[in-house]
Amino acid sequence: MNLAITLLVVIAIASVIGTVLQQNEPYTNYVRKFGPFWFEVFKSLGLFDIYGATWFLILLGFLLVSTSVCVWRNTPHILRDMRHFRTDVQEKSLRSFHLKAEWETGHNGDEAAARSAALLAARGYRVRQAAQGEHRTVAAMKGAVGRLGYILSHVSIVVICLGGLIDGNLPLKLQEMRGELRAETRDLPASEVPAESTLGTDNLSFRGSISIPEGASSNVVFLQLRDGYLVQELPFGIELEQFRVEHYPTGMPKSFESDLIIHDDELPEPLRQTIRVNHPLIYKGYAIYQSSFGDGGSGLDMRAWSLDLPHQEPLALKSNVNRFLRLTTTRGERTLEFTDFKLYNIFPVEEGDTSGKKFRNYGPSFVFRLRNPAGEAMEYVNYMTPVEVEGRQFFMSGMRATPSEEYRYLYIPADAAGTPQRFMTLLAAAHDETRVRRTVEQQLAGMMGGDAASKEVRSTMIDSISRLLALFVEQGIDGIIKHAEANVPAEQRQEAINSYVNVLQGVLGALYVDMLRDEGVDVAQGVSDADSQFFDDALNTLSMLGAYGSPFYLQLSAFEHIEASGLQIARSPGKDIVYLGCAMLMVGVFMMFYMHQRRVWVYVMPRDGGADMLFAGSGLRNRMDFEREFRALQAELEKAVPPAGAATN
Amino acid sequence: MSVSSDYLEHEFKQPSLWQRLGWFDWLWALLAVAGSIYAHVHYAAFMDNYEIGILYGTALTLIWLGWSWKPVRQLSLVICLLSLFAIGLYGEDLARGDTSFFLKYLVSSQSAIMWMSALYVMATFAYFFGMFARSEFSSRVGSALTWSATAMGLTGLMVRWRESYLISHDVGHIPVSNLYEVFILFAVITALMYLYYEGRYRNRQLGGFVLTVISAAVAFLLWYAFARGAHEIQPLVPALQSYWMKLHVPTNFIGYGGFALAAMVAVAYLLVERRPAGWLAGRLPSLEQMDDVMYKAIALGFAFFTVATVLGAMWAAEAWGGYWSWDPKETWALIVWLNYAAWLHLRLTKGWRGRPLAWWSVVGLFITLFAFLGVNMFLSGLHSYGTL
Ligand code: HEM
């Protein structure tokens, strides 16, 4: 019994560890967290998968055994105790009871016994009477069934543990120990996973997950095993016909569901069934649950606008999420890895507003990584449709070096047609050296005389200004600042930069005005506010381009949204056993607490003209309640079988 | 002999429960049934069969409760009237909450809950004053305040339920879905358990102690509402959209309530036990009685917590694909359960009593507290609803 209590406490404490220490993470995480030494220590203690650790299972085993033993030992005498009325109780043992009362009655023995028995029966007691020689014994008890509560609740513990054992991963552990099974840690397609990491359909109990894209199907699931996984084969194929997700205005998913088709040779025709969260499909004892969703490889049609050769037509690209492209760019080899697509991007309008009131949908977006031969990658998220900021339209593109960073956004002004074309044209002009030189020349024209000396100066100025512009276009404002730091003494640097910027604005402005003319705008009476606003935005973007780190801007022109449904598939033959145990436990515990076995005895000793009454009782539990009940019964008895002298009814 | 004994038995017969029921009991039953039929007829569209079952099950439970603990009838009727009043004032327009005087200052869920909070805190002081000053009157005021606070709290939940549907039909749900809402539930259930004890044992001396833990819950509730805006009604994530929530959560909080009650009685017990002749001793129930209450509270808590954990497992089996995942919340439920199982064993099989078990149930409250607050605050897992 002490063992039982100790076990309960020890198991409780052991369980705490697994909640404090994240279980079954990739081992590398643990190494990072605890360092190699403690990692090894913890690993050997099985702390990363405590509830599967041998020592933990042994603890549970002890509980199982000790409970069984305990029930085994207690049951016989409890059952006997339930039936047995103890009519043979001795007078002196009754006298030793804590709850007792004695009086003399005028009724004769038989009458006294009969009246007592009747009263107790009327109060819901089961009554037995016995007469030994002179005296009569009335033995009564109540609530004996409650004792079954103990048996039920404790047997239930055993039942639950056994059911759990069937569903637990003990068989896998054994196979692993025998070296027949190895967790796969590489990221492989199911077909290439070696046999030693694959489980056949004869595996009785497992719980795995699989992500199936719309239109695709699968006949395996992946089981997570410590830092790796196993492939579990299914005796049927699951096809995802369609996946649907609904959102609340907040962008939070409201419901998601999958139209599944089960392909099984044993079925006359494929079985169609829609599953939702909380509404699984049970097929052949395999339970199929809707657990999550993600992108299933959406098709992406893109235009790559070169930022180095902006005069070129954009390059058309085609790919899918979870695929990649190899490109030779103006800056060398690059791989484009497409990692995600989102149909909606719903954000609260004002920062930190979560009241579920003002939300705005930024439309479709896709995420990709641009990786250079050295393996370094920048991550980008580009929004398909122009986003409105202060009444103007921009193409939004976020970039970051590591997932831990916030995105920094580049805003490319969109033209009336909703394309980046106009910005690109300006950029092209800025890239066009001869055109730049011409413009600078026109700007400087009239500034100086026509003599040879000033011609000389002018051409050098043209050179330097053009170089400055090239620098700006290539490296953005940072380039200009670096240039100033390199060539200008600190004290004059700031104004130098300012004057650089003025000059550049002048030149770019002139280029822009040319562009407007080409567009057929009449610039004779000044430039419209809209156009000058566009120029300012374009200038901002230009000054950011240096930091953008990509040789092109990738515009999403069209997409085919393919969703994937995250399914969880479980087979647990032990479940019903566990539920049976749970039912027993619940019933048992209530019986234990709310049905108390209690016994009372009336010991009647006849004497001339009456009898001596001895009333005694014992309650298994709830002493206070029973005492109250006993005293009430006593009062009633003293009325039913009144003391001699007291008026008889 | 047997003949005469039958005759005698008849002579000693007492009126059965049925015969003891008065007209009010029957009216009560009638109202409960009528109410659920009305709800069934009008809102069947929002319920699946399980939920309809739960609806009638609730009616039967209420009838039984009202018959075996009479004050429940008056309480429920008051709550019912207040809620209907609020719902009537709202009509179909949530915005009335700001314009209608009674909604704004009395029965909109938010104000009702504020009233609850204020009343519970006042009750705490009234009880303590009643105990220190030996003022029966002050203690009576304490009870009255506790009853009213409970009425306001439950009204607040009822109205909040309606408000969620006024926001939008797909947002609507029973208000037991996040920490804010269950804290109200916790306060109310603990209070009800105490009030039952108070009526049964005819003494109010423990009120201050029990109401202290409720006031603490209220303090958290207010901080949570004002600092985190937790009182905003949020829509349900898909995993929570299930009839199981209506069973699992309230059952759990009956368990928590029992454990909390036991712990507070244990505190009183320890204070008296330290100075048996001290002035507190004269003002509190006998050690034996407190020990008894402690056991009863834990027994009740344990029984319901067992049911709640089983229900939780069955829900998990339906929502996550496994009845047991060793997810932190599940595991902590097990820890709490094992802890009290050990407690019960010590009392019932080793015959322990008094101080050690009193300390144990105080510690038990902290374990319980961690299970339903700490886990959400510090540990991650499947169960991360209503995170802080
Ligand atoms: C998870 C494991 C267990 C749980 C949850 C549990 C639960 C309980 C509870 C709640 C009680 C008090 C009910 C009552 O009698 O009023 C009880 C009583 C008892 N338990 Fe356990 N128990 C467990 C394991 C064990 C084990 C392993 C043993 C023996 C080695 C044991 C022996 C007893 C005994 C002898 C009683 C008293 C029975 C009686 O007085 O009617 N229990 N158990």
Q: Note the pLDDT tens digit of each residue in B248-283.
A: 999 999 999 999 999 999 999 999 999 888 888 888
Mean predicted confidence (pLDDT) in A294-316 = 91
Mean predicted confidence (pLDDT) in A492-497 = 87
Tell me the per-residue pLDDT of A392-433, one tens digit each, with 9 for 90 and over: 999 999 999 887 788 999 999 999 888 999 999 999 988 888
Confidence band (pLDDT; 50, 70, 90) for B385? very low
Query: Which letter does DSSP use for residue B46 in this model?
Result: G
Buried b (16+ CB within 10 A) or exposed e, B337-365: bbbbbbbbbbbbeeeebbeebbebbbebb
Minimal CA separation from B53 to chain A, in Å? 18
Residue with more model confidence, B2 or B201: B201
Residues A421, A559 contacting (CB under 8 angstroms): no
Pocket test for ligand 1, best of A592, A625, A626 (most atoms within 8 A of CB): A592
Tell me the per-residue pLDDT of A70-112, one tens digit each, with 9 for 90 and over: 999 999 999 998 888 888 888 888 888 889 999 888 888 888 8
Contacts of A629 by beta carbon, 8 Å cutoff, 6+ apart: A598, A619
* C-alpha of residue A620 to centroid of ligand 1, in Å: 14
* C-alpha of residue B346 to centroid of ligand 1, in Å: 9
Confidence band (pLDDT; 50, 70, 90) for B7? low
Q: How would you class A42 by CB atoms within 10 Å of its CB: exposed for 0-12, middle for 13-18, buried for 19 or more?
A: middle
**Rounded Cα gap, residues B322 and A287, in angstroms:** 9
CA distances from A412 to A312, A385, A508 (A): 17, 12, 17
CA distances from A115 to A5, A646, B228 (A): 46, 16, 69
Length of chain A: 649
Residue B384 has what pLDDT?
Answer: 47
Tell me the per-residue pLDDT of B41-90, one tens digit each, with 9 for 90 and over: 999 988 999 999 999 999 999 999 999 999 999 999 999 999 999 999 99
Q: What phi and psi, each to the nearest 5 degrees, are found at residue A104?
A: -100, 135
Answer yes or no: do A291 and B5 touch at CB < 8 A. no
Statement: residue A616 has pLDDT above 70: yes
From the list A1, A123, A276, the residue facing B349 with the nearest CB is A1
Question: Which range scores top for mean pLDDT: A153-162, A201-210, A616-625?
Answer: A153-162
Q: Backbone dihedral region of B41: left (phi > 0), alpha (psi from -120 to 50 degrees) or beta?
A: alpha
Answer yes or no: do B5 and A15 touch at CB < 8 A. no
CA distances from A520 to A427, A443, A514, B84 (A): 19, 22, 10, 70
Residues A231, A197 contacting (CB under 8 angstroms): yes
Residue B156 has what pLDDT?
Answer: 96
Tell the residue number behind the tokens 């005469």, with chain if given: B4
Answer yes or no: do B299 and A9 touch at CB < 8 A. no
Residue A473 has what pLDDT?
Answer: 85
Confidence band (pLDDT; 50, 70, 90) for B380? low
Answer yes or no: do A253 and B238 touch at CB < 8 A. yes
Structure token digits, residue B284: 């509190």
Question: Which range scores top for mean pLDDT: A25-29, A494-498, B97-101, B112-116?
Answer: B112-116
Residue with more model confidence, B175 or A641: B175
Can you give the pTM of this predicted structure?
Answer: 0.85
- Residues forming beta bridges with residue A371, ordered by sequence position: A335, A377
- Residue A585 Cα: closest atom of ligand 1: 5
**Rounded Cα gap, residues B149 and B214, in angstroms:** 11
Confidence band (pLDDT; 50, 70, 90) for A351? low
Pick the closest to residue A28 from A185, A182, A223 (CA basis). Answer: A185
Please report how many Cα atoms fall inside a 13 Å half-sphere around the Cα of residue B84, on the Cβ side: 8
Structure token digits, residue A413: 């002004």
- Residues forming beta bridges with residue A194, ordered by sequence position: none
**Rounded Cα gap, residues B349 and A571, in angstroms:** 39
Q: Alpha helices of chain B — where are they, by DSSP H?
A: 2-12, 17-20, 23-43, 49-68, 71-90, 96-99, 101-102, 109-132, 136-167, 179-201, 207-228, 244-274, 279-283, 287-319, 328-348, 355-369, 375-378
From the list A123, A252, A589, the residue facing B302 with the nearest CB is A589
* C-alpha of residue B310 to centroid of ligand 1, in Å: 18
Please report how many Cα atoms fall inside a 13 Å half-sphere around the Cα of residue B203, on the Cβ side: 12
Tell me the per-residue pLDDT of B285-317, one tens digit each, with 9 for 90 and over: 989 899 999 999 999 999 999 999 999 999 998
User: What is the C-alpha radius of gyration for chain B, rounded to an integer number of angstroms?
Assistant: 22
Answer yes or no: do A23 and B242 touch at CB < 8 A. no
Minimal CA separation from A274 to chain B, in Å? 15
Closest CA to ligand 1's atom 37: B349
CA distances from A367 to A31, A182, A296, A323, B164 (A): 30, 35, 14, 12, 36
Structure token digits, residue B212: 């202290």
**Rounded Cα gap, residues B340 and A594, in angstroms:** 17
Answer yes or no: do B306 and A585 touch at CB < 8 A. yes
* C-alpha of residue B365 to centroid of ligand 1, in Å: 21
Query: What is the percentage of chain A residues whose pLDDT exceeds 70?
Result: 97
- Residues forming beta bridges with residue A319, ordered by sequence position: A300
Q: Which residues of B touch A22 (CB under 8 A)?
A: 380
Tell the residue number behind the tokens 């005796």, with chain if given: A235
Q: Which residues of A touch B379 (CB under 8 A)?
A: 19-20
Residue A450 has what pLDDT?
Answer: 65
Tell me the per-residue pLDDT of B15-39, one tens digit each, with 9 for 90 and over: 777 788 889 999 999 999 999 999 9
Statement: residue A446 has pLDDT above 70: no
Mean pLDDT of the residues in chain A = 87
The ipTM (two decimal places) reads 0.91
Length of chain B: 388
Answer yes or no: do A12 and B342 touch at CB < 8 A. yes
Question: Which range scores top for mean pLDDT: A542-546, B299-303, B327-331?
Answer: B299-303
**Rounded Cα gap, residues B338 and B306, in angstroms:** 10
Q: Which residues of B touch A252 (CB under 8 A)?
A: 235, 237
Structure token digits, residue A648: 């008889």
Structure token digits, residue A80: 């006997």
Q: Hey, of B51, B201, B237, B372, which one would you mutate to test binding to chain A, going by the most A CBs within 10 A of its CB?
A: B237
* C-alpha of residue A77 to centroid of ligand 1, in Å: 15
Q: What phi and psi, each to the nearest 5 degrees, are found at residue A211?
A: -110, 120
**Rounded Cα gap, residues A23 and A227, in angstroms:** 10
Pocket test for ligand 1, best of A77, A79, A150 (most atoms within 8 A of CB): A150
From the list A568, A569, A586, the residue facing B307 with the nearest CB is A586
Residue with more model confidence, A264 or B383: A264
Mean predicted confidence (pLDDT) in A433-461 = 79
Mean predicted confidence (pLDDT) in B100-126 = 94
Answer yes or no: do A287 and B321 touch at CB < 8 A. yes
Contacts of A603 by beta carbon, 8 Å cutoff, 6+ apart: A89, A91, A94, A135, A136, A137, A138, A613, A614, A615, A616
Residue of B nearest to A253 (CA): B237
Lowest-confidence pick of A153-157, A161-165, B195-199, B320-324? B320-324
**Rounded Cα gap, residues A372 and A365, in angstroms:** 23
